[in-house]
Amino acid sequence: MELGEFSNDYLLLNPEKATLFDFVRILCFPSYSLKQRDFIDIQEPANLSGLLRRWLLFVSLVVQKLCIKIKTPITLIGDVIETWLNLVSSNNGVGYLLLNFLSGKVILASDPSSAKFASVNAYIDTRVKLDEQIKNTDVKYRPALSVMASKLSYENEAYIQNVVQNVWGEMEYLGFFNCWDDHLEKSATQAMMFKDTSTTPNTIVIAFRGTSPFDTDDWRADVDFSWFDLNGLGKVHGGFMKALGLQKGTGWPKEIPMGPTDKHYAYYDIRQKLRDLLKENDTSKFIVTGHSLGGALAILFAGILMFHEENDLLKRLDGVYTFGQPRVGDKKFGEYMVTNMFKYNVGYFRFVYCNDVVPRMPYDGKTLLFKHFGRCLYFNSWYEGEILAEEPNKNYFSPLWTLPMAFNAIWELIRSFLLPLTMGEEYEESWLCRFLRSIAILFPGLADHSLQDYDNVTRLGTLQLLQHTDKDD
C-alpha cells in the first residue's frame, strides 16, 4: 500500500538522503522542483509555498541531519556523564570518591541495566517517593502520580520495577515496553505500565518516556516536521506518529500480526496489553501520561484509539495527563480530539510550566498548521495556576519576552535555595538542577522543561483547577 492510500495529504522528510545542495534547493527553488526529490515526499506541492514554511522545513532537515551525524559522540558523552553521576552517588559524593580512590576502595558504578543505575533525569529531580501528604482521594493525586510515573519512565526496566514494587507501596508492576520504530528501523520508543491497587476501582497507569537527553533519535522525532493527514482525523506530526507505531506504507491498520517473531510497536503492544488486563477486571480504569515527547505520544495514543473506534477501551480511559507536551496536530485534529473526548467523557490535562519552550513547539501559525487543543493548565514560577486556551508567548521566540524570561530565570535560581527553607527538605534541589537553572539565564526555556518544576507544580500548585475539563465546555 502506498502513502496516498491511507493519507490524502502528507509531507515526509528524509534527511538521510538530503545533500548540501538539497538544503539550498528547498529555500531557493520553486515548489514544483521538490516534488520528486529523494529527501522529500509530498502529495500536494502547494504545501511548500511560502518562504517561512520552506525555511522551517529547511531547519527541520538540517537539524535532523545533524542529529544523525552526532549520534555516536552524543551517546558516548551521555554514557560517560551518567556513569560518572552513578559513580559519585555510589561513593556518597565527590569527596568520598576521592578518599576511596586514594585508599583503593572505589565502589564502581552499577551496571546500566541494574536497579541501582539512574539516568541523568533522576539526578536532576532526585525525589523517588510519592508525596505522602497527597492521599488517593485528593484532587492532586492523579497528576502527582502521573508526573512521578512520567519521570520514572526515563529509567531502565529493573530500576522502574524496583521503585513501583518496593518504594511506591500499593502498586503492581505490569511491564516495560521497548518498541520498534519502522522508520528508524530500531527500537526507539519506551513506555511503562503499572496498576494502582490503592484506588477503587484500580487504575492502570501507562507512562510514555519523553525525549532522552542523549538520544538524538528522540531529538529527531521532536524536530521532524513531516505530517500525515489521516481521513477524518486531520494533520498529525509525523515524528510522533512514527515513534508511536506508524507502519511504513500502510499507516495505521487496525490490527497487525503480533506473533513472537513479529516486530513490537508501542501503540499495538500497549493496546493489546490493555485489552487483556481490562478483560480480567471489568471495573478497572486506565490513564495515560508522559512528559515532553512522552506527552505527545500519550495524547496521540488516545487519538489512535479513537481513530480505530476502540469503544471498549475508550469507555475505560479515565484521563490523559501530559507535562511539557509539544503540539501534535492541526486545528482539525484538535477538533476531532475534543469531540471524541466529550463523547467518551475523557479528561485531558495539559500542564505547562512558566517559560518551558517545548509546549510552544512546533510553531503555531499558518506556516506549519500545528495547534494545541483543549485547556492549558498553566503555572507561573510561583506555582500559581490558571486555565488558559493557550500558554502565554505561544511561539516562545519573541523579543518582548526576552528580558522578562531572563529575570524570571534568575528568580528561579534564587528560589531553588529558598524553597527547601520554607517548604521542607524534599524541595532541596540537586547541584545538577541548579546548574541547569544557571544556564537557563541565557536560555530560560531549558530548565523550565525539567521535571523538577512539573513535580513541584503537582505538589504545590493550585490544583483545584483539575476539577475543570474540556467536557465542561
What residues are paired with 387 via a beta bridge?
Answer: 377
- Tell me the mean pLDDT in the region 327-339: 95
Kindly list the strands in the beta sheet with 376-379, ordered across the sheet, starting from the edge strand earlier in the chain.
Answer: 171-181, 186-196, 203-208, 285-291, 317-323, 348-353, 376-379, 385-388
**pLDDT above 90 for 125:** yes
Residue 93 burial (C-beta neighbours within 10 Å; 0-12, 13-18, 19+): exposed
pLDDT band at 261; cut points 50, 70, 90: confident
Q: Of the given ranges (22-26, 60-64, 223-227, 356-360), which has the lowest mean pLDDT? A: 22-26
- For residue 392, is the peptide bond before it cis, meaning its omega torsion is within 30 degrees of 0? no
Q: Of the given ranges (38-42, 67-71, 127-131), which has the lowest mean pLDDT? A: 38-42
**pLDDT above 60 for 450:** yes
**pLDDT above 90 for 317:** yes
pLDDT tens string 185-199: 888 899 999 999 998
**pLDDT above 60 for 1:** no
Give the pLDDT score at 464.
66
- Tell me the mean pLDDT in the region 263-278: 96
Give the pLDDT score at 230.
83
- Residues known to be catalytic: 292, 356, 449
pLDDT-above-90 percentage for the chain: 67
Cell of 236: 498529525
- Greater confidence, 268 or 3? 268
pTM of the model: 0.94
**What is the residue extent of each domain of the chain?**
1-109, 114-472
pLDDT band at 366; cut points 50, 70, 90: low
Give the pLDDT score at 400.
84
Give the pLDDT score at 44.
65
**pLDDT above 60 for 121:** yes
Report the alpha-carbon distance of residue 17 to residue 223 in Å, rounded.
17
Give the pLDDT score at 470.
44
Terminal alpha carbon distance of the chain? 40
Q: In degrees rounded to 5, what are phi and psi of residue 106?
A: -65, 130
pLDDT tens string 279-298: 998 899 999 999 999 999 99
Q: Is the dihedral of CA 172, 89, 323, 254 positive or negative?
A: negative
pLDDT band at 348; cut points 50, 70, 90: very high
**How high does pLDDT run on average in the chain?**
89
Give the pLDDT score at 280.
92
pLDDT band at 471; cut points 50, 70, 90: very low
Q: What CATH superfamily classification does 114-472 receive?
A: Alpha/Beta hydrolase fold, catalytic domain (3.40.50.1820)
Give the pLDDT score at 51.
63
